[in-house]
Chain A
C-alpha cells in the first residue's frame, strides 16, 4: 500500500470540495453562491456543507450581504486555502505525470 502523499490535502480531495476550490481559485476573488451552484452542479445543502468544512479549516471565507432585497452569499479562498489548493493540484499533476508515487 503506497504511503499517503503529504501534499494531497485530505480536506480538498473529495470531488465536491475540489470543484468548489477550483472554481474559487479560478474566479475573481469573491464568487457568489449561485455561480458556485451552477458551475459545480451541487445542491444548495451540499454547497453549504462543504463550504462550512472548508471555512472551519480556514481555507474559505464567507461573506453574506444583499443585492436589493435578495440575500446573497459570496465565497473566496483564504491565502491558506489558495496555497493548499495549489499544492494539491501540483501534486495531482505530478501523479498524472508519473513523477510521484503518492496516492490518496
Chain B
C-alpha cells in the first residue's frame, strides 16, 4: 500500500540534508568568519600574568651592598573557603577586631569575587609573620602566604641618596603611559631608585595561564610555550663610601643641614648627607605604612634631600670665586692690597662690615675672610671700563659663575635638583626690581660676599671646591659609576665629560689655594685642621631671614684635600647653628676628610670630638615649635584627619621633578652684554620655593632686609 508514497522518501532525505547544510553554514560563520568569539574566549579563558623581576642591587665603592631585595609575605584569603576557620584567632594575630575583619572580607568579595584569592593583609611585619608561621596550617586553605620581593637596606644610611620604591599613583601612570606600568606596580620614587628606575627594574616576564569560570588560574597555557622569562634589573656600582656616609650622618645628628663629599677627579659623590634623615628601611615593606605620613609631615623635612633640594646664600665661601674672577680679569693681582678700617665704604653706606681690621693682600683676605677686600674686587670687576655697560660686565661675571657650576642644574643623578640663583642684568633691569639703568654695583654689593641675590645648593658648593681643586675643571657630580651589563640607556656618558668653560691659568688657582690653605692653618677654619694633611678650605657664615625676622646664621665650610693631587672636595652646612662657619661646620669637614684620607679616625681626642659633635643639638627652636603645633593638631594619628581639616592638601608621595628647561639661562649667559631681550626666568626662579612641598616654614628664602619687595610668607 505504501508504493503510492514512495517518492516522499526523497522529500524527507532532502529535508534532513538541508537542515544539516544550514547548521554547517552557521558553524562556518561562527567559527571561520567571525573573530569576535575568539577574542571573547581569550579574554575570559586566558590570563596574561606579569612576572616581576628582582630589582638591581646597588653597591658602594668598596663593593658593599647598599640596596638589595628581600622576601616579605602578603596574607592572602580566598573568601569562599572561610567557613570553619577560626577567625577570632586570626583577628588576634593581626590585631584587629571582628568587625574590621568582616569589613575587609566584604571589601575583598566586592573587589575580586568570592573564589579568587585576594590580599587580606599586605606586607606582614616580622612579628606578625613569626606568629602566623607556626599556626598557618590551621587557617589553610582559606588563608595562605604569598611571597613578594621588597627592597632592603643592609646599612641604616644614605636614605636620601638611595631613595625608596612605592606603589605608583595615577599621576605616575599618566606620565609613564607607554612604559608598561599598571596600578599596583612599584617604582622608584626618590633617589637613585627613581633616576635609575629603567636600569633597576629589569625586564618583566609574561606567563600565559588558563583561567576557569571562577576566575582562578588553573594551569599554564600549553605548558608555558608562549611565556617569556623575566630578566632581573641591572646591578649598579656607586661612588658612595658607605662608612664615610655613616660618619657624616652621625655627625649631622640633631642638626639641619648637609654634607657633600666628592672625588674631584671623577665627580663621583663619596657621601651625600642630608640631615635630618631617616632609616631607609622605614619606607620599605611593612614599615612604610607606619612611617610614611609621620616622615612626610615632619616640619624638619627628613624626606627632602637638602644636598640638591635646598638653596642657601653661599656666604663667604663665595669669596674664593670672586678672587678667581678678579685675578683672571686682571683687575687685581695677588699683591693687590686693600685696607679695612671696619667696613667697605666704596658705596658710602659702610656696608658690608669687616671683622679683622688691617691691610690684606689676596691670600690674607681669603684667610681672614675680609669682606671689604672682596667687595672691592667685585666692584672692580663690575665697574671694569673694559665693558661698556654694567649689563655687559655683570653678564661677563655671570659667565664665570656658570662655568663654576652655579646658577644651573649640574645634572647630578639624584632627582629634584634645584638650580640656585645667580643675578643677571635682566633681573635687575626688570621693572619689578629696579628698572633699566636704575641700578649699579652698590645695589648688590652684598653678592660679593655671598649674601643677597645669590643662591646655591650644597652640591654646587662642593662642586665648586672640586673645580678649584682641579684648577679649572669639574666633572658632573654623580652617584652611579658603572652599571653591570652595560649602560644600555646611555645614562652615564654625561659624567665622563670634563667641564672647563673658561680657561684660567694654574697660577691664579695657586694663589687661591694659598689663601684657602691659610684658612685652615691660621684663619677662620682652624677647626678643620687634620694632622698630616694639607687642607684648603673656606668658612662661611650666612645671615638669613624668615620674612623680616633674622634667624641664627647658617654655618658653612667647604674645602678640598690634600692640596696637591686632591682626593676629596667637600662642603658642610649646618642650618641656623648660630656663631660662625668655623665653629661647627669646619670640625665636621675635618673629621670627614680624616676618615676618608686616613681610612679611620684615630686618637681619643678626635673620637671624643666625633661623639661631642654628634650629640650636639643645633636644631632651631622654630622646628620644635612647629612639631608642637602639629602634635596638638593631630588628635588622631590619622593623616586623613589633617586632610579633612585642611591642614594638609593631601599627601603626595612623589616629589615632582622640576621639568622647566634651563637652556634659556644658558643662552642668556652666553649672550653679549648689550642684548636687550628680557627674560622672566631668573626672576621667577628667585621666588621659587621647593615645589610640591610646603617648605617655606623651614627653609627660608634668604632675603636682605634692604629688599623692598620682600613678600615671602611663612
Are A and B interaction partners?
A: no
Q: Which residues of B contact A (CB under 8 A)?
A: none
Q: Which residues of A contact B (CB under 8 A)?
A: none
